[in-house]
Amino acid sequence: MADGVAADSANPFFAPWSTPFELPPFERIAPDHFRPAFDRALAAHKAEIAAIAEDSAAPTFANTVDRMERSGRELRRVSAVFFNLAGSHTNDALQAIEREMSPLLARHRSAIFMNQALYARFAALFDQRELLGLSAEQARVLDRYHTIFVRAGAQLEPESRKRLAAILERLATLGTQFSQNVLADEKAYTLILEGEDDLAGLPDFLRAAAAREAEERGVPGKHVITLSRSSIEPFLAFSARRDLREKAFLAWAARGDTGGETDNKAIIAEIVALRAERAQLLGYETFADYKLADTMAKTPAAALDLLHNVWRPAVARAGRERDALQRLAAEEGGNFELAAWDWRYYAEKLRKREHDLDEAEIKPYLQLDRIVEAAFDTAYRLFGLEFEELAEAPRYHPDVRIWEAKREGRHIGLFVGDYFARPSKRSGAWMSSFRAQEKLAGEVRPIIANVSNFAKGDPALLSFDDARTLFHEFGHALHGLLSDVTYPLLAGTSVPTDFVELPSQLYEHWLEEPQVLRRFAVHYRTGEPMPEALIERVLAARTFDQGFATVEYTASALVDMDLHQLRTADNLDPARFEREALDRIGMPREIAMRHRTPHFAHIFSGDGYAAGYYSYLWSEVLDADAFEAFRQAGDIFDRETAQKLHDFIYAAGNRRPPDEAYRAFRGRMPSIQALLEKRGLFEAPTDARAS
């Protein structure tokens, strides 16, 4: 990305892009371009909205809904570039702009969806929708807009609308500060390993990654562990130095909880209070009630029923896992009670003992490039997609790679892969878009990005969890790439949170299929495929340590739900609330939440997953059942099943309610039995349904 001050005449956002497939011309975009581009795009969008709202003609679908969907194109273009960079390759200048723009954009959205004249036009159309002769997709767009207006406060009295707009603006500011604080803590921390004693137990791949990180951090000749998950988790799994494991773990757990300028606890308290007030203004008892009303779950009670049905067998299994790890530690002379920084270390040893398997043995067979190929090949066999890398396309960082996706020679979209950790990138892995699919303005094809934080290497080698993450995010990417709708509002991943994880989690299943591993899991030095015996051991260990994994996730989901069922959050102490919530559910002392509240970006950097972290588990009920459809067909690439999956899930966007979409694919809704079996928790089956 270019640096320096730029005159308006040179602003790339003020002219069409002549780049391949109209990719953003990243090399010409400087931070100083964004604020003028936002200002112009906001002014244009405001004028477009005013023209719709003030139209003297009676409302029709064409002069109201269609025009609404065509409006704001420049704002979407600027926002897509800016917020992608703010997450994946930020700097001080971009962060300052993000702090400025987040509340302004929230104010702009409130002004649109609280506009009484505009809402009146949509309400009039909604009231007579049965008489308008709308197509199914048009009816869905109108229904979604009406829902959005109502949930945004369009029906409130003027004073309540004013207060709600102020709340939303403040929440945007707080969410931005929360995420920037977490990133600052992650960037600031390094654990420098000085000598061989500090490296005890670390396999070659982790030593090499830590040495490379030390070079980049300006301490050559040493080894550095960072708070990137791809660095910290393998360190916790392999380091024989319990004191260093504790030090690293406590730093990881303390992100956003340092007591200094980047401490997030006061931000959390204010966010929870404002969300509760927002929900009550809109007529809901709690934010969780408000949020889930527009999801598959519909109510907090339904989500909690699922979480508790999984929590009970997960805790029981985790207890047995803990006992086994404690015995192993005692055998090795460990005169201590197992702690959270010990779990991964002894679990890795136990996996080696029980399954003759360790990550150091698996990683040489999981080259990043080959796993990318595996994801692409699976997409070809399921959906007919082919990927051709574009060597000369513009990109915002040298590590970024770009492919054109085609089907039967026809352009489908672009896929952007940004795989490696760096200080300018927030942690985690995600899918986003630089452009969404639509047909209202002609055949607009998407530009979809996957962003991850894998460790660099030559070649880059992945853990099996890393490989699963790659498949997961590529499942999201396919949801965007295969989108086939007319209206932007319905495109791609614009579906309820507890449905959006279905395409991604379902896609993970193909990675674990022997025929995929035999072809793509090849040794980076010899080129030999992963031995059959190793494949068998890898697959046999799929449910190993699943008590731990399920507990750390479900605890986070339950704390999220508890926070957002508060009717008031006066004097909320997030740290105490977290402790008390975990005590109530009987959280094992040796396991930490997957995301402690001070760095729980899913629910506090925005409200996308707020009162919605349960969604991964809800979708897992669906994905476990959905993959069973391929097994029942006798072929994991069965053409007829894949076509239905394409038509009703991956390509369908939000053309219909998600429960209808799933029933169209599968013929029924699933029970959670398939999920319990997948996770090895089937000791406590239940008939609860995700419906």
Instruction: Indicate the angle between helix axes 92-113 and 73-88, nearest 10 degrees.
Output: 140
pLDDT, the chain, mean: 95
The structure tokens 């197992």 sit at 338
CATH for the stretch 265-357+545-613:
1.10.1370.10
* First vs last C-alpha separation in the chain: 46
What would the mean pLDDT of 280-296 be, rounded to a whole number? 98
Alpha helices in 447-522 (DSSP H): 464-481, 497-511, 514-520
What is the rounded CA–CA span in Å between residue 61 and residue 71?
14
Q: What is the pTM of this model?
A: 0.95
- For residues 622-660, one letter each, b for 16 or more C-beta atoms within 10 angstroms of the residue's C-beta and e for the rest, the string is bbbbbbbbbeeeeebbbeebbebbbebbbbbbbbbebbe
Catalytic residue, candidates 473, 508, 590, 620: 473
pLDDT tens string 90-118: 999 999 999 999 999 999 999 999 999 99
Q: Which two tokens stand for residue 590?
A: 């040796």
Number of C-beta neighbours around residue 197 at 10 A: 10
Query: For residue 619, which phi and psi values (nearest 5 degrees)?
Result: -70, -30
Is 8-113+115-155's fold the same as 265-357+545-613's?
yes
Q: Are 238 and 201 in contact (CB under 8 A)?
A: yes
**Is 473 a known active-site residue?**
yes
Look at residue 9 and tell me whether its pLDDT is greater than 80.
no
**CATH architecture for residues 364-498:** 3-Layer(aba) Sandwich (3.40)
**CATH architecture for residues 8-113+115-155:** Orthogonal Bundle (1.10)
pLDDT tens string 73-85: 999 999 999 999 9
Instruction: Indicate the angle between helix axes 615-633 and 658-666, nearest 10 degrees.
Output: 20
Alpha-carbon separation of residue 230 from 207, 234, 343, 353 (angstroms):
13, 7, 17, 24
Residue of 381, 374, 459, 387 whose CA lies nearest to 420:
459
What is the rounded CA–CA span in Å between residue 103 and residue 170?
7
What is the dihedral angle through the alpha carbons of 475, 477, 479, 480, rounded to the nearest 10 degrees?
180
Q: Where exactly are the structural domains of the chain?
A: 8-113+115-155, 189-253, 265-357+545-613, 364-498
Look at residue 687 and tell me whether its pLDDT is greater than 50.
no
What would the mean pLDDT of 154-160 be, rounded to a whole number? 98
pLDDT tens string 522-579: 999 999 999 999 999 999 999 999 999 999 999 999 999 999 999 999 889 999 999 9
Q: What is the largest CA-CA distance in the chain?
A: 83
